[in-house]
Structure 1
Amino acid sequence: MTTFAVFGMSENWANEEAREHTPTFKNMNSERVELCVTEWEAEVKIQIAKIMAGKKCVRLSPFFDAPQYAQQFIEMARSRIKCRDLKIRTKAVLVDAKGKPIINPKTGAPKVGLADWNP
């Protein structure tokens, strides 16, 4: 059963996200102006910096069978790439603020999602 995964943000993921969502044009005086390659790359670098400074976290690893494999992934990631906010999350029954399981009103079963894992 694969239930452990590493979440956080890496510069590689931020780079892909910025390249995908940075437009190749600017609107100046209600006129569309195409950016040259160097201008677009500068905009991408600005977006990468914004993503890395933000709080968004995504799943960086595949799911693992045991938490020690996720911990090894974190150690390798920190030594090889620029990353932030790495944490292990696991599939678990979601609970509310009082510690009671959240029940799906349609099925009556407890909701299962990803929760932070504490050793």
Structure 2
Amino acid sequence: MTTFAVFGMSENWAREEAKEHTPTFKNENGKRIDLTVSQWEAEVEVQVAKIMAGKKCVRLSPMFDAPQYAQQFMDMARKSIVCRDLKIRTKAVLVDAKKKPILNTKTGAPKVGFADWVPEATYAA
């Protein structure tokens, strides 16, 4: 059962997102001005910096069976790529502020999503 994944933001993901959403033109005084490749790349770099400074987090890893595998992925990611806000999340029933499950209005079943994973305290005998 694969229920653990690493969430955060990597510079690679931010760059792909910026390339996808940065237009190749500007509107100045109601006129469309096409950007050169170097101007567009500069705009992409500005967007990458904004994304990396923001708070948005996405799933960076595949799903894992156990949290220790997600932790290994996190350790390798920190060593090899520029990233921020890495955390392990698990699939769980979503709850509201009063710790009551959030129910689907159509089916009445509890909603399942990703929640932050907190390791349980272990006690030595």
TM bin (shorter chain): over 0.9
Partners of 2:106 and 2:34 in 1: CA distance? 50
Q: Displacement of 1:6 after TM fit?
A: 0.5
1:91-110 correspondence runs (5 A): 91-110=91-110
- C-alpha deviation, 1:11, in angstroms: 0.1
Which residue number in structure 1 is paired with residue 42 of structure 2?
A: 42
TM-score (norm 2): 0.92
Report how far residue 102 of structure 1 moved.
1.6
The runs of 4+ residues in structure 1 deviating greater than 3 Å are none
**RMSD of aligned Cα (Å):** 0.8
**1:71 equivalent in alignment to 2:71:** yes
Q: Structure 1, unaligned stretches of length 5 or more?
A: none
Residue in 1 that maps onto 2:53: 53
Q: Which residue of 2 aligns with 1:26?
A: 26
Secondary structure of the residue aligned to 1:97 is coil
Q: Which amino acid aligns with 2:29?
A: N
Secondary structure at the residue paired with 2:98?
Answer: coil
By how many angstroms is 1:63 displaced? Answer: 0.5
* Residue 28 of structure 1, CA deviation: 1.1
In 2, Cα distance between the equivalents of 1:49 and 1:105?
A: 39
Structure 2 segments unaligned to the other structure (5+ residues): 120-125
Q: Which amino acid aligns with 1:45?
A: E
Identical-residue share of aligned pairs (%): 80
Q: What is the identity, as a one-letter code, of the residue corresponding to 2:20?
A: E
Structure 2 partner of 1:14: 14
Q: Structure 2 CA distance, aligned partners of 1:100 and 1:30?
A: 52
Question: How far apart, in 1, do the equivalents of 2:27 and 2:103 lie?
Answer: 48
SS of alignment partner, residue 95 of structure 1: coil
Q: With structure 1 as the length reference, what TM-score do the two structures score?
A: 0.97
Q: Distance in 2 between matches of 1:102 and 1:26?
A: 44
Q: Following TM superposition, by how much is the alpha carbon of 1:97 offset from its aligned partner in structure 2, in angstroms?
A: 0.8
**SS of residue paired to 2:115:** strand
